[in-house]
Amino acid sequence: MKPIIESRLVKSLLMVVLAGQGARLVAQEQCGVCHPESRVEFDKSRHAQEGVTCTDCHRGDGETLDTDRAHRSDFRSLGDRQNTPAMCSECHSDIRRMRPYNLPVDQYAVYQTSQHGQAVARGDSNAAVCTDCHGVHDIRTVSDPSSSAYTRNIPTTCGRCHADASLMEPYGLSASLVAEYESAIHGRALLIEGNTAAPNCTTCHGVHGATPPGYGDVDKICGACHDQTRQAFIEGPHRDAMIAAELPECASCHSNHAIESLQPDDVVGLCGECHGLDSEQVTLGTKMQTLIGSAAQRIEEASLLVERAERAALRVEDYEARLEESRTYLTEALPLVHTVTLEPVEQVTRRARSIADEVEHEIYGELDRTEEHLGLALFWFYVLMTLVILALLKRRLRVPSETS
Amino acid sequence: MNDEKSTLLDWFSRRLNLTEIFSLLTSYGIYYGELDSRKPLREALAEAEQRPVALYSRWPRILSLIAVVLIGIELLTGGLLALYYLPTPDSAHPSLGTILRDVHFGDFVHQMHFWGGQLLILVLILRVLRYFVGGMYKTPRELIWVFGALLLLAAFHLDLTGRALPMTDRGYWSSVRALEIVGAVPIYGPLIHFLVGGGGAFITELTLIRFYILHVAVLPIIAVTLIYLHFSTIRRVGLGDAEPGRQVQTQRVLRSQLLTMAIVLTLVFGLLVTLAVVVPKPFQREADPFATVPGIGPPWYLLAPFGFLEWMPSFLPSWLSGMVLFLAFMVFLALPFLDRAQSGSLGRRVVVVIGLLVMVAWVLLTIYGAKVA
């Protein structure tokens, strides 16, 4: 008997669920009858997947085909851009709705502090609102690679406005920033190498609170990733002096969008730019450059020697591990350069160099073939002795030959 | 002391046919005359010492003897290497590492084996060239040529299978290149590809174990048999350029021949040791079948056919170039049956000129092959 009761229960439950589902589908479909394009776009969105309906944003009555009743008094077309952020925040600032998705609910407030938000508040209809970056009906999650807010698509999305010279001109902003970013080290890492951990525009400027960083903030922003470098920079004299002189800290030397890692060879010119080419600061820069360059060269030579040792069938695992350690010291030297003091750089490069020297010395010891070559000389002495004896024996055997 | 020794020899003589055993050794170049195996060893040797025989122990007739010595060294060093080598793709390279690093004299034995193989191929090529230049394949000496050519072919195969065994990157990829060339040859190519498995483009564990069996058993037996047949032919027909009128005779030729062999053995061993110590073959990284190492051509002796295949216009089907290679090899093998010209005649001169042209073409194609590899 039990199975029947169970199956009846299941059946009736199923019917209730299906009926509800059907009613909902019918209810949504009514808007799509007249607005098929919007409907098709909306169906691709995350909102559609989560059961958000047309009337959740547009109000009105979605269950009727009567256009007057559908567009009744509370219906809103949402054509006015300025009101879009407030409309989105109706749901996105509601903690009870957002909690299951673990989405932050303070983004509307954050947006209002941004350059975009403030321009909108001033009545500037050109400033970006939610839909400019996220899309209108086809809004997707940030983790969806086809979303305009996906990390690798952010430069393009920002570039829709910020690479447009006619749009940027009234604000006195350069339209080449996005191109500069894309060709520089961070852009190449993100867009060409596909490293999704590489920073995009929002990593430095903020997401919804997008604002250019001010003096004194630049090193904090860069330091979020380059922590060691920032610690060294704070220890040195540059930070306070730069803020006082209204120079953007890190960007003063590294530039802001066209960021490249500076090689030791670039240092002298850079120091000279502010300090003068014959200043003691340039001498210091040259010294650090020499220290790092020579350590790198020693490591390079040692690793070539390790390759040679490998071909000579020596065990090189230990040498490789030690060279790796030496490379780590060299890597440490690069952040320490930002202290602009010689001692810490000298300390780590000395360690790096001495390990490479030690490895080289030991490998040369192992590769030394002097003993083998002495042995070979001795061997040939015996070979020649043997040949002489054999030749003498043969000579004794030889009898004058005759021809028949 | 002397008495004791002879007693021991007599003791064995009564129980073994020592003369027959020695007679077998003479088929490997120790002695070119015939032995009466019905007589006791002492008596037969005394007889052989008195018998006048052409002295075949002078340059360049000594090439076959050097080949025997080298084959002997290869068998010995190969046997020692086989004590530690493991023929599976995963453990082949580490086992070579063990041989080179941990086994006493392992590195030295490995170098000797490598350089011995290269010298053997060189000597066998020189031997074939000498037979050609000296016209030593004329009736009734056709078989000297055929066995010499086949021995060279066996040595190529020994080298080819050998260089794949340690699974080093250069060895692996030069084997694959060689298999590609062999694959272009009709009939033989598909047969070899079937035998080695992997379609000839890959070296799998089956390929490796088959290469191993070929390298340590099948091909050495073939090589030793061909050397035996070579000396048997020489004992029957003599070498062509020793004209009967100028035949050199000496007494005590057997002892002289043994001393010659000792000198050759010493010199070859000395050369090999020198090569092994002064120009050691580098220990290469382990091969990765999924990462082709660029710039690796086939072994040096296959550069000419490789150059030919590369030089042929690409719109021609590969079986056509393969067919040309195959026919060229068949002509090479069957040369004594094709070239019937008398020595000193115009036909003979034409053959020599053609042969020289082929050699020049071979050298040019080798240079071209090395350039495109």
Question: What is the predicted pLDDT for the residue at B215?
Answer: 95
| Alpha-helical runs (H) found in B204-292 | 205-213, 219-237, 253-278
Q: Which residue in A391, A393, A402 is closest to B249 by CB distance?
A: A402
Interface contacts (A, B; CB < 8 Å): 65
The answer to whether residues A165 and A177 touch, using CB atoms and an 8 Å cutoff, is no
**Following DSSP, what letter does each residue of A352-366 receive, concatenated?**
HHHHHHHHHHHHHHH
Question: What is the predicted pLDDT for the residue at B17?
Answer: 87
Question: What is the predicted pLDDT for the residue at A78?
Answer: 82
Residue B242 — pLDDT band, cuts 50, 70, 90?
Answer: very low
Q: Which residue in B107, B263, B277 is closest to A387 by CB distance?
A: B263
Q: Which residue in B100, B249, B263 is closest to A313 by CB distance?
A: B100
Residue B293 — pLDDT band, cuts 50, 70, 90?
Answer: confident
CB contact under 8 A, A315 and B101: yes
Question: What is the predicted pLDDT for the residue at A404?
Answer: 36
Residue range A192-249, pLDDT digits in tens: 999 999 999 999 999 999 988 888 899 999 999 999 999 999 999 999 899 898 888 8
pTM: 0.71
Interface of B with A in 278-337 (CB under 8 A): 278, 280, 282-285
Choose among A107, A113, A117, A90: nearest CA to A142: A107
Question: What is the predicted pLDDT for the residue at B49?
Answer: 75
Residue B152 — pLDDT band, cuts 50, 70, 90?
Answer: very high
CA atoms within 13 A on the CB side of B208: 21
pLDDT over 50 at A251, yes or no: yes
Choose among B26, B109, B107, B108: nearest CA to B68: B26
CB contact under 8 A, A313 and B101: yes
Please state the rounded mean pLDDT for residues B22-36: 77
B60 prior amide bond cis, ω within 30? yes
Element (H, E) at A78: none
Cα–Cα distance for residue pair B255/A170, rounded to 1 Å: 109
One-letter amino acid identity for B230? H
ipTM: 0.77
CB contact under 8 A, A311 and B107: no
Choose among B11, B16, B15, B10: nearest CA to B43: B10
Residue B244 — pLDDT band, cuts 50, 70, 90?
Answer: very low
Contacts of B62 (CB under 8 A, 6+ apart): B260, B264
CB contact under 8 A, B259 and A401: no
Interface of B with A in 243-282 (CB under 8 A): 246-252, 255-256, 259-260, 262-263, 266-267, 269-270, 273-274, 277-278, 280, 282
For residue B211, CA distances in Å to A365, B101, B164, B167 come to 38, 24, 8, 12
Please state the rounded mean pLDDT for residues A325-339: 93
Q: Which residue in A310, A372, A383 is closest to B270 by CB distance?
A: A383
Other Cβ atoms within 10 Å of B341 Cβ, number = 16
For residue B18, CA distances in Å to A151, B10, B187 come to 88, 10, 45
pLDDT over 90 at A99, yes or no: yes
